[in-house]
Chain A
Amino acid sequence: MNEEPTRRDVLGHAARGAALLGMGGLIGYLIKHGSVEGAWRINVDQCVNSRLGALGVDVCDKCATTCVLALSAVRAVNDHAACGRCYICPAYFDVNSAINEEGLPSAKLCPRDAIERFEIGWVDPDDPANNYYEYVIDEVKCNGCGRCVMACKEPAGLSSIRLEVRHDLCLDCNRCSIAQVCPDDAYIREPTT
């Protein structure tokens, strides 16, 4: 069967070689500008809920409402090292609600009751206002609506709460539906290190 290569064979080889070369060139060009691997991330400085000067406007709950998952992959995260551990936390209580008999606002801010509050450290039962309190966000209840993020920032809070993408939940969609609607391009794809 060792026949001379026909004209058709030679043309075929040439075409395949050209196709591979072309693709190789493209790959080379792309690799030069490529990154190792990326992941969706929320840039806190750009997030309208975290940013200063946005008080009094409605919360941006796009992270909670537009994710393709039934319960969004975005969660509010309380950075405990930055948390003031206040007696009355503006992210936990709805500070606009009427005060109850204990002298605390009667309503909570979180619509899903996802924040837990308890006393920590050395507790003086007679002076609750000067005790410290831990605020823990329940990952199962939180849907990343950002109301607490909005409340916990200067001058009311210390900006310890931020929104974060939970990568164990995130489907890593090529076309992230949150990124499509994020009002200030805070939802970005960044190379992972």
Chain B
Amino acid sequence: MTPQRGNVRCATALRAVVLRGGRRTFIVAALLLVSQPKTSAQQFQYERPVSAAPTAEDVGEGYETPVVQYHPPRSMTRELIDVGVLTGALALTAWLVLGQRHRFGTLLVTIACVTYFGFYRQGCVCPIGAIQNVTLGLVDSSYALSYVAIAIFFLPLVFAVFFGRVFCGGVCPLGAIQELVALWPLQVPRRWEWWLGWLKWIYLATAIVFVVLPAAQRDFIICRFDPFVGFFRFTGPLDIMLIGAGLLLLGVLVGRPYCRYFCPYGALLSLPARIAWKAVRITPDKELDCGLCAEACPYGAIEGLRAMRATCLSCARCYKYCPREHGTATL
């Protein structure tokens, strides 16, 4: 099978003999080389001993061929449970934020969702990454886009048509991990907010371009540069983990930097959220004009004492700081 290494060894031996100058030994060595390879002391001459796999009877002694272990992919039922949990969480967030105006309840849903979609489901497949799958499904008819990915991509968008960005507020695990570290949020100047807000559109366009590229250069950059998925999995590329850690540190002072400036799905969600049927409203009939809510909003989504539908992340923080809301909200 593999006499190469043996020949190399023999050749080295031959060279050594020639250098020593012994003519007779050279002839002996040459003869040895010719009568090689079977008698070579070191080299194992491999030949396959069998031409076919023996049957259990050939082996004898009541031998049974072991079953090769096989782990089936995640079952459809469990995939459907994911879709069900997503729908339930969206509906619950909408009810808590718009109906109950309950910050603490919303926070509980956020924690439950980061546990389920983040740590249990390990962040895949998420609506943010599904942008790429859906785009690929639209441009490449040979690509098998799963029904679950379709459902997970469109459910938050459909909810946004009715209730605004409830996905961002209560369900998204990437948003939740930032929501939990937004401890001392500063107000970003309006002008900066406006300019930085364009980054997510550029990111969305870039991601789509990378998907539409021919298969050899195609890349899912939203997943590749997902800054927080490594935290859910406790493993990941070092550079991405460092970017994620940097964003989380920044997120202590600047509320949800990824959601507001980079998230391509947030860019998409802001479109149906603009025409939302119901959305977060700042106590329209019992206004105090105190402006406490605008200062409380860590995401710069309250302008002129009104919640902006496109940028409001439905976190319900403003209600918590409203003197009119205290004592009225019940879970």
Contacts and interface: CB of A to CB of B under 8 A. Distances in A.
Contacts of B275: 12, 15-16, 19
Interface string B54-65: 100011110101
B53 A68 contact: no
B73 A192 contact: yes
A160 interface: yes
B68 A37 contact: no
A53 to B, nearest CB: 15
A31 B125 CA distance: 17
A86 B133 CA distance: 46
A36 B147 contact: yes
Interface in A168-191: 168-169, 171-175, 180, 189-191
B146 A38 contact: yes
B71 interface: yes
Interface residues of A, number: 70
A88 B2 CA distance: 14
Given A30-B150, A80-B65, A167-B71, A120 B59 contact: yes
A97 B44 contact: yes
Contact of A96 (B2, B50, B58): B2
A12 B54 CA distance: 74
B60 A16 contact: no
A80 B1 CA distance: 24
A88 B49 contact: yes
Contacts of B46: 88, 90, 95, 156
A96 B8 CA distance: 12
Interface string B203-242: 0000000000000000110011000000001011100000
A68 B235 contact: yes
A56 to B, nearest CB: 9
Contacts of B60: 121-122
Interface in A81-140: 81-88, 90, 95-99, 105, 120-123, 129-130, 132, 134, 136, 139
B133 A174 contact: yes
A84 B54 contact: yes
B157 interface: yes
A105 B145 CA distance: 49
B7 to A, nearest CB: 12
Contact of B147 (A15, A31, A95, A120): A31
Contacts of B35: none
Interface in B1-53: 1-2, 5, 42-44, 46, 48-50, 52-53
Given A158-B50, A167-B71, A171-B233, A37 B138 contact: no
Given A15-B275, A19-B275, A84-B50, A167 B73 contact: yes
A49 interface: no
A15 B236 CA distance: 42
A27 B154 contact: yes
A189 B69 CA distance: 21
Contacts of B148: 37
B42 A77 contact: no
A152 to B, nearest CB: 10
B71 A87 contact: no
B67 to A, nearest CB: 8
B278 to A, nearest CB: 11
Contacts of A158: 48, 50, 52-53
A96 B161 CA distance: 67
30 contacts: A12-B275, A30-B138, A31-B147, A33-B137, A33-B144, A34-B145, A68-B237, A78-B68, A79-B68, A84-B52, A84-B53, A85-B50, A88-B46, A95-B2, A99-B42, A123-B61, A129-B49, A130-B49, A132-B63, A139-B69, A155-B48, A167-B73, A171-B122, A173-B124, A174-B129, A174-B220, A175-B132, A175-B224, A180-B219, A192-B76
Across the A-B interface, the 5 shortest Cβ-Cβ residue pairs: A121-B59, A39-B73, A175-B223, A175-B220, A35-B144
Interface of A: 12, 15-16, 19-20, 23, 26-27, 29-31, 33-39, 68-70, 77-88, 90, 95-99, 105, 120-123, 129-130, 132, 134, 136, 139, 155-158, 160, 164, 166-169, 171-175, 180, 189-192
Given A15-B275, A86-B48, A167-B72, 4 more contacts: A155-B48, A171-B124, A173-B223, A175-B220
